C-alpha cells in the first residue's frame, strides 16, 4: 500500500532518486498511466507475490501467461504476454532490440528516441503499456478473459497518438506532425 506522503513527494519532486522522472513525469503521459507506472517502478502494485507474502493469496502464478511465478519484473516485461506487447509497440516506434526490464527499458528507449518530442511520445507509449498490462491482468482476475496482445496494443497506440495529438503546440514542426500522423496510420 502506498502512503499519501509518497504521492505528495512524487507530485512535488522531492524525495528519493528520480532518474526515472523523464519517463514517469512526462507531460505526454495520461495521468492514470503515469500513476500506475509510478506504482510499478516502486513495486507497489498488488501483484500476487506481494499478496502471498501478506497471506492474502496462495496462488502466485501469472494471470496472463499462467505458467510462471509472478512478480513485478515478470509482469513488466519478462512475461511472454507482456513481451509480445512491448515488442509490438517497439516495432511500431521503430525501436530495435528492445529491453524487457522495467528498470532498463525506458533508458534504452530514450537512447533510441533522442529527439525530445519523439522521446516524449515514446515514453507516453511506455506508460500506456504498463497501465494496459496491469488492466489486462485485472481483467483476467475479475472477468476470466484475456485480451489478445494485438488488441491491447491497438488500444495503446490509439490512446498514445490521441493524447499527444491534443498536446501539439508551437514547438512541433511539420516533421513532428507528419511523424505522429504516420504513427496513427501504422497502428498494428
Ligand atoms: Zn506471465
pLDDT in tens, 36-80: 999 999 988 988 777 777 777 777 889 999 888 889 999 999 999
Total domains in the fold of the chain: 1
Residue 9: pLDDT above 80? no
Instruction: Tell me the average pLDDT across 100-123.
Output: 94
Distance 166 CA to ligand 1 centre (A): 34
Cα separation, 59 vs 73, in Å, equals 17
Distance 61 CA to ligand 1 centre (A): 8
Condensed to tens digits (0 to 9), the pLDDT of residues 72-92 reads 999 999 999 999 999 999 999
Distance 115 CA to ligand 1 centre (A): 33
Residue 4: pLDDT above 90? no
Distance 50 CA to ligand 1 centre (A): 15
Distance 15 CA to ligand 1 centre (A): 32
Instruction: For residue 152, give the nearest of 73, 62, 76, 85 by alpha carbon.
Output: 85
Distance 111 CA to ligand 1 centre (A): 27
Distance 150 CA to ligand 1 centre (A): 16
Domain range spanning residue 145? 4-185
Distance 137 CA to ligand 1 centre (A): 9
**Cα angle, residue 79 at apex, residues 55 and 17 outer, rounded to 5°:** 75
Amino acid at each position: 500500500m502506498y502512503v499519501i506522503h509518497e504521492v505528495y513527494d512524487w507530485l512535488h519532486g522531492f524525495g528519493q532518486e528520480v532518474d526515472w522522472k523523464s519517463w514517469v513525469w512526462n507531460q505526454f503521459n495520461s495521468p492514470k498511466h503515469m500513476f500506475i507506472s509510478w506504482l510499478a517502478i516502486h513495486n507497489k502494485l498488488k501483484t500476487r507475490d506481494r499478496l502471498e507474502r501478506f497471506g492474502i493469496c496462495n496462488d502466485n502464478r501469472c494471470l496472463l501467461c499462467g505458467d510462471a511465478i509472478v512478480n513485478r519484473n515478470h509482469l513488466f516485461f519478462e512475461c511472454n504476454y507482456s513481451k509480445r506487447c512491448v515488442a509490438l509497440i517497439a516495432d511500431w516506434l521503430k525501436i530495435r532490440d528492445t529491453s524487457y526490464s522495467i528498470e532498463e527499458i525506458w533508458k534504452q528507449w530514450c537512447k533510441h528516441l533522442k529527439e525530445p518530442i519523439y522521446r516524449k511520445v515514446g515514453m507516453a507509449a511506455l506508460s500506456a503499456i504498463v497501465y494496459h498490462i496491469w488492466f489486462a491482468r485485472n481483467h483476467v482476475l475479475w472477468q476470466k478473459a484475456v485480451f489478445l496482445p494485438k488488441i491491447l496494443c491497438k488500444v495503446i497506440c490509439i490512446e498514445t497518438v490521441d493524447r499527444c495529438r491534443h498536446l501539439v503546440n508551437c514547438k512541433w514542426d511539420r516533421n513532428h506532425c507528419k511523424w505522429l500522423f504516420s504513427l496513427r496510420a501504422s497502428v498494428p
